Amino acid sequence: MLSSERKLDASKFTLNLVLSFFSRVETKISVVLAINTAMLAVLTANLPSPEQFQIRMSIGILAGLLIARSYWYLFRASFPILEGGSTSLIYFREIAQRKENVFLSEFSEQTEEDQINDILRQVYRNSEILTQKFDYLKKAFVAMLWAIVPWVTTLAFFVARNSGTTHQLVK
């Protein structure tokens, strides 16, 4: 069995390890957000005038809906549900709900075992939040990937119409 000191060190290490994954998911969220925005910008920039619009170009609606779905998942990944940790002396939201002197008093009165358990509860809760973020990021990425085919098809129709191309594939 580990000593209290080793348990404390191990729990702090585990918390830091879990926290290190948050920056990874945030970076990926930014990349998918940038790609979605670029896809919409390119479509919008190539949108033909209303009199040049053809019914087959409506496939762009599907691309737009899939990109919108991806945005929704990115929003959910960026703002996960943060409830929990109601007795924590580590979780920032719970600390902020206390008066400063109450927090200082409670923190200084905790035992080493209390601190270890609080850290481990934080590891657990952060793992739940991180799982939500990664799951929503995956859904956003999949929606973005599904949007690619209708996006490329629509873009080909738009560009062909705007440039007067007469190729049979996009005519």
- List pLDDT tens digits, range 44-60: 988 888 888 888 888 99
CA–CA separation, 62 vs 147, rounded Å?
A: 7
- Angle of CA points 30, 32, 38, to nearest 5°: 100
CA–CA separation, 154 vs 162, rounded Å?
A: 12
Torsion of CA 103, 19, 121, 132, to 10 degrees: 120
Q: Kindly report the pTM of this predicted structure.
A: 0.86
Amino acid at 3: S
- List pLDDT tens digits, range 11-25: 999 999 999 999 999
Q: Note whether 53 and 70 are within 8 A (CB).
A: no
- Give me the helix-helix angle, 112-163 and 59-78, nearest 10°: 160
- List pLDDT tens digits, range 128-165: 999 999 999 999 999 999 999 999 999 998 888 777 65
